[in-house]
Amino acid sequence: MAAAKIILIAALIAFMAASHGLAADPGPLQDYCVADYNSTVFVNGYACKDRGLVTADDFFFSGLDKRASTANRLGSNITIVDATKIPGVNSLGVSMSRIDYAPYGLNPPHAHPRSSEILHVVEGELYAGFVSANTEDGSNLLFAKKLRKGDVFVFPRGLIHFQFNCGGSRAVAFAAFDSQKPGLVTIANAMFGAHPAVDDEVLVKAFQLNEATVDWLQKQNWLDVST
């Protein structure tokens, strides 16, 4: 009996530790905390709007049926619907996006520091994948697949991933996140488009490039295709 109790307590502690470790955004402590975009209080997320002023529209967004313009260098456009677009999403730990791809358009290698992502292809064909963190032997594993309409692919939190439209026609996908604001680090932009610029010597050594190439890369327009 005592042994059973100890096992039960140990299991409970392990479960609590695991569920805490796996959570992305912290769990809400109330039914909702609709963002008050006017508040100047600095908190993790947004301060809550007066409950008496909350309406259905606070939990609503419209427009994800619309194709965003992909007439840019990358041939893609990401419409993010997060806590900055739906105030009711504040503190709930979810968000989503629509991604449009021109033929051969690319959602360039990037990572979300606060969220995993599950992607659903609704139109076209994508070559999508992510790269593992450094393994024990110092290599990085690529997990990539060709996706078609109806296919779903998962990108683990924090790992670098991408989608490329490998079909000849346009493509559309929707993504869901376990964070109200997943964050976006576009790898090339972060390294070659930082302000102020990362020192040449750092980039020359890190990427095994010569200085002229680094200078050229730093002069490029590192586009952010998310809105």
Ligand X SMILES: *[C@@H]1O[C@H](CO)[C@@H](O)[C@H](O)[C@H]1NC(C)=O
Instruction: Give the binding site for ligand X (CB under 6 A).
Output: 36, 38, 49, 68-69, 72, 77, 223, 225, 227
- AA identity, residue 156: P
**CA distances in angstroms from 181 to 45, 94, 108, 115, listed in the order given:** 9, 8, 19, 8
The answer to the question of whether 110 is labelled as a binding residue is yes
If you compute the radius of gyration of the chain from its CA atoms, what whole number of angstroms results? 21
User: CB 163 → ligand X: shortest distance, Å?
Assistant: 16
Pick the closer one to ligand X by CB: 184 or 214.
184
Q: Are 141 and 135 in contact (CB under 8 A)?
A: yes
How many residues appear in the chain?
A: 227
Distance of CA 218 to the CA centre of its chain: 24
Pick the closer one to ligand X by CB: 110 or 178.
110
Pick the closer one to ligand X by CB: 106 or 225.
225
User: CB 45 → ligand X: shortest distance, Å?
Assistant: 14
Which residue in the shown chain puts its C-beta closest to ligand X? 68
Please name which of 185, 189, 161 lies closest in space to residue 175, comparing C-alpha atoms.
161
User: CB 221 → ligand X: shortest distance, Å?
Assistant: 11
User: CB 101 → ligand X: shortest distance, Å?
Assistant: 12
Which helix or strand (DSSP H or E) is residue 8 part of? helix 2-22
Q: Rounded CA gap, 191 and 31, in Å?
A: 40
Pick the closer one to ligand X by CB: 108 or 158.
108
The answer to the question of whether 90 is labelled as a binding residue is no
The answer to the question of whether 195 is labelled as a binding residue is no
Q: State the binding site for Mn(2+).
A: 110, 112, 117, 161
Q: State the binding site for oxalate.
A: 107, 112, 117
